[in-house]
Structure 1
Amino acid sequence: MCSNILNEEKFKELEEFIDSLHSKEGALIEVLHKAQGIFGYLSKEVQIFIGEKLNIPISKVYGVITFYSYFTTEPRGKYVINVCMGTACFVRGSGAILKEFEDVLNIKSGETTPDGKFTLEILRCVGACGLAPVVTINNKVYGHFKKEQVEEILSKYSDEEVLSLD
């Protein structure tokens, strides 16, 4: 029952956001960003709601979601780990870093740990080639990353008391 009330509040927040827009035409990406911020991901239920509120077909909503890699239709972990696999990062060992994260977390890229704490993803390029290889966790950038740092950084995030690593 509590989750239903929470879900209703989230839909109400999204509806208020949509209603506050000066023009709904061309607002799909803005609304999707807001919805993902509210819900954490874009479920089919959320997609239908957005389509109805913006008066556009759900196929268009889904098409935009699947075109842009920022959007996700699956729940993500509390901490989203991205390993850059761009050329500079790859030649400096990001493949081994990704493999180490997969081995330690016991998940593959694109998956979330069963406890919902970590999601592991690949980025094509972070745009910080001078820091290669690069790993980001919830948009915090870790440059010159080494596979030997994987367990240490995961344990720091697992402690949950340390939210900012300097």
Structure 2
Amino acid sequence: MEQETLILQEPNEQEKKLPNEKYEKLKKYIDELPEKEGTLIQVLHKAQEIFGYLPRDVQLFVARALGVSGAKVYGVVSFYNYFNDKPRGEYLINVCTGTACFVKGCGPLLESLSEKLGVGSGQTTEDGKFTLNGVRCIGACGLAPVIIVDDQVYGRVKLEEIDKIIAKYR
């Protein structure tokens, strides 16, 4: 019940600015589903595609549209790394922290990125350019340590390459 309370708070200023057209697009998508039961993750993917992230209001909209509790939606959003409940930066930097990457030195890479960008894992830079995340295994163990910027994979990354990688996206 506590989770339900968390997402039923008043929307913040950014959430109040979400365009009705986006809600209408999501509603149309949900209405066109042949069956609503069992589609929560599918609908959340679509909602994130439309809005860019899943703020409280969007989570509650999905909950009402699918006839599930807000707590259930919040539980799914908070469980899966793919879903974001805060706006992400223009570029998403994921540093693999799985076992192979850990052994090969992902810790110092994540620390260096954090220091250079001025944000911790799970945070977005003030200019909205980068979101930095430490993520569990991404399945590229042979390339450890691995950094992914959006869809670009950087394997066997060395500390001295961090500035060059960031500069490519500035």
Could you state the TM-score of these two structures normalised by the residue count of structure 2?
0.87
Q: Does 1:77 align with 2:89?
A: yes
Instruction: Letter of the 1:86 partner, please give it.
Output: G
How many angstroms does 1:64 deviate by?
1.2
Structure 1, unpaired ranges of 5+? 159-166
Q: Which amino acid in structure 2 is aligned with residue 55 of structure 1?
A: G
- Residues 59-99 of structure 1, C-alpha deviations (whole Å, 9 max, x = no match): 11111111212111111101010001111111111111111
Aligned to 1:161: none
* Equivalent-residue separation in structure 2 for 1:52 and 1:106 (angstroms): 38
Match of 1:55 among 64, 67, 91: 67
User: What are the superposed Cα offsets for residues 2-51 of structure 1, whole Å, 9 maximum, x if unpaired?
Assistant: x9887111111111110111101111000000101111111010011111
Q: 1:114 aligns with which of 126, 148, 158?
A: 126
Measured in 2, the distance between the counterparts of 1:4 and 1:61 equals 20
Q: Give runs of aligned pairs for residues 1-150 of structure 1, distance below 5 A.
A: 7-150=19-162
Alignment RMSD: 1.5
Q: CA deviation at 1:120?
A: 0.3
Q: Give the match's secondary structure for 1:120.
A: strand
Cα distance in structure 2, aligned partners of 1:132 and 1:147: 13
Q: Deviations over 1:133-163 (max 9, x none)?
A: 10001132111111111111111111xxxxx
What is the aligned residue count?
156
In the alignment, structure 2 segments of 5+ residues that lack a partner are 1-14
Secondary structure of the equivalent of 1:121? strand
User: How far apart in 2 are the matches of 1:98 and 1:154?
Assistant: 13
TM-score (norm 1): 0.89
1:77 aligned counterpart, secondary structure: coil
Deviating above 6 A after TM superposition, structure 1's stretches of 4 or more consecutive aligned residues are 3-6
Give, in whole Å, the separation in 2 of the partners of 1:89 and 1:67: 22
